[in-house]
Amino acid sequence: MKLSRLVSLSAITIAIFSACVSNQVGTTQPVPQKQDGPALSEKPETQDPDSTGGEGAVEGTPEQGRSPMAQGRPDPQDREELTVAFSSGSIQLDPRKSFLASEAQIFTGLYEGLFSYNPLTLEPIPAAAESWKVSDDKKTWTFTIRSNARYWNGDSLKSQHFRDAWISLIDPAGNNPYSSLFDIIAGAKEYRTGQTRDPDKVGIECPNEKTLVVHLNAPAAFFPSMLCHHSFSPIHPTMLGISDWSKQAPISNGPFYLVEQKDDRLILAKNELYWDAKRVAIKKLIIRFTKDGAEAASLWNSGEARWIAGDVDLEALQDRSGIEVNAMFATYYFYIRSSQAPWTDSRIRQALSLALPWDNIRQGYYLPAETLIYPIPGYPKPKGLSETNVERAKELLAEAGFPKGVGVPTLVIKISQSKEAYRIAGLMAAAWKENLGIPV
């Protein structure tokens, strides 16, 4: 099932925290002592380290929502502090377990992998990786980690931190959402699926503290682009065994660090130990979580929020000059287990599809889509899921031996914990009950 949406972006162009940079040098403070991690209200004393240049960027994973909007009104005077309004407050700070777009946007400030996306071109650019080499067969990548790459607590970033984080993410016991991305690495799929329990058989090596060697199953020129994803972030070794990251600030290596977490907000401060700290202009990021579009509009109208990344009541906005609309896409899947009767019968599955109110399901999206891939000009336009024909659905169900749904076992729908998932599942359940008599 495909649900496509549009999101408007501000003149900042993309939800990029780590690209908030300038050539101005920030205030310096003494170098901190190494520590295990602060309480969420503590701030580490820091020093502005030497920088070699480069810009950080974000890769945002589309998040499901009905009418998401994002806008901002850039102000050259707002360099010290930036307040952003997000729709959801259910933020998972562990990059291994997160999957929402809002989390991905925030992670560009907290974490940094080997590569980041250029905020203007979206091409991968070096981040924690200072340099890299590719073998003649294009299957072995050797990365050199920046000598001045550190976490906010002063600890040096090491190659082992990448390896341990990646192995932890693909551990089958973790059931982490993006673990399959690592299947490109030799031995990763076998480890992820439990075919082997030996992590040493995964093609990730650390010859020394600043060298990471990755062996791929096949040549992949796009590998640097994949490494921009937040799931490839390093994790501080003291955080690996912690299951609940809401109790303390994560020890992160990005341009910002978390100093306060509440139900309605996150507060991030500039990490003066970030390798490129001289180019990070903003000193403080306040992320406000709004309960609805009206609250987001209120924050905008009052001047408190300079950027809205989520639902907003357009009619309530007093200043719409910063709005830009750009296309994004997201694919929402509902899988049907067809290995057991009666769901093995394609007529029943087709009946389920024909009984659905597709227009209502896609209602509220700026550009509803019927196919798995967002419609792109110049590319083929295959026929998608759009037909609603209740009478034909009833006929198919009867042909399969279940007239009026009699005898069909209860259909159980398992969904993620999101408002949009509940909305869609509710429409599906009502349609199957009312139109076909199938218990849900």
Per-residue confidence at 376, pLDDT binned at 50, 70, 90? Answer: low
User: What is the predicted pLDDT for the residue at 68?
Assistant: 34
Integer Cα distance of 292 and 308 in angstroms:
12
**Of 236, 245, 238, 250, which is closest to residue 44 (Cα–Cα)?**
250
Homologous superfamily assigned to 333-436: Dipeptide-binding Protein; Domain 3 (3.10.105.10)
User: What is the predicted pLDDT for the residue at 54?
Assistant: 34
**Of 68, 64, 88, which is closest to residue 1 (Cα–Cα)?**
64
What whole-number percentage of the chain has pLDDT above 70? 79
Integer Cα distance of 45 and 153 in angstroms:
9
User: What is the predicted pLDDT for the residue at 416?
Assistant: 73
pLDDT at 8 over 60: no
pLDDT digits (tens, 9 = 90+) for 254-284: 999 999 999 899 999 999 999 999 999 999 9
Residue 417 CB neighbour total at 10 angstroms:
7
Across the chain, mean pLDDT equals 81
pLDDT digits (tens, 9 = 90+) for 358-373: 999 988 776 677 887 7
Residues of the chain with CATH 3.10.105.10: 333-436
User: What is the predicted pLDDT for the residue at 325?
Assistant: 63
Place of tokens 């509803």: 368
Q: What is the mean pLDDT of residues 430-437?
A: 96
Integer Cα distance of 99 and 60 in angstroms:
10
For residue 331, count CB atoms less than 10 angstroms from its CB and return exposed for 0-12, middle for 13-18, buried for 19 or more.
middle
pLDDT at 67 over 60: no
pLDDT at 64 over 50: no
Integer Cα distance of 370 and 133 in angstroms:
42
Integer Cα distance of 155 and 33 in angstroms:
9
Phi–psi pair at 210, nearest 5 degrees: -120, 15
Per-residue confidence at 75, pLDDT binned at 50, 70, 90? Answer: low
Residues of the chain with CATH 3.40.190.10: 2-302
Integer Cα distance of 278 and 14 in angstroms:
21
pLDDT digits (tens, 9 = 90+) for 106-129: 999 999 999 999 988 889 999 999
pLDDT digits (tens, 9 = 90+) for 202-235: 999 999 999 999 999 999 999 999 999 999 999 9
Per-residue confidence at 326, pLDDT binned at 50, 70, 90? Answer: low
User: What is the predicted pLDDT for the residue at 229?
Assistant: 96
| Lowest-confidence region among 129-133, 249-253, 322-326, 379-383 | 322-326
Q: What is the mean pLDDT of residues 130-156?
A: 98
Q: What is the mean pLDDT of residues 35-64?
A: 35
Per-residue confidence at 432, pLDDT binned at 50, 70, 90? Answer: very high
Looking at per-residue pLDDT, the higher value among 53 and 351 belongs to: 351
pLDDT at 69 over 50: no
DSSP string of 210-242?
Answer: TEEEEEBSS--TTHHHHTTSGGG----TTTTT-
Looking at per-residue pLDDT, the higher value among 286 and 121 belongs to: 286
Local structure of 107: helix, strand or coil: helix
pLDDT at 41 over 50: no
Maximum Cα interatomic distance, the chain, rounded to a whole number of Å: 78
pLDDT at 59 over 50: no
Amino acid identity, position 215: H
User: What is the predicted pLDDT for the residue at 366?
Assistant: 66
How far apart, in Å, are the Cα atoms of 414 and each of 142, 330, 334, 358, 422? 42, 19, 9, 19, 10
User: What is the predicted pLDDT for the residue at 61?
Assistant: 30
CATH class, range 2-302? alpha beta
| Lowest-confidence region among 37-41, 110-114, 196-200, 271-275 | 37-41
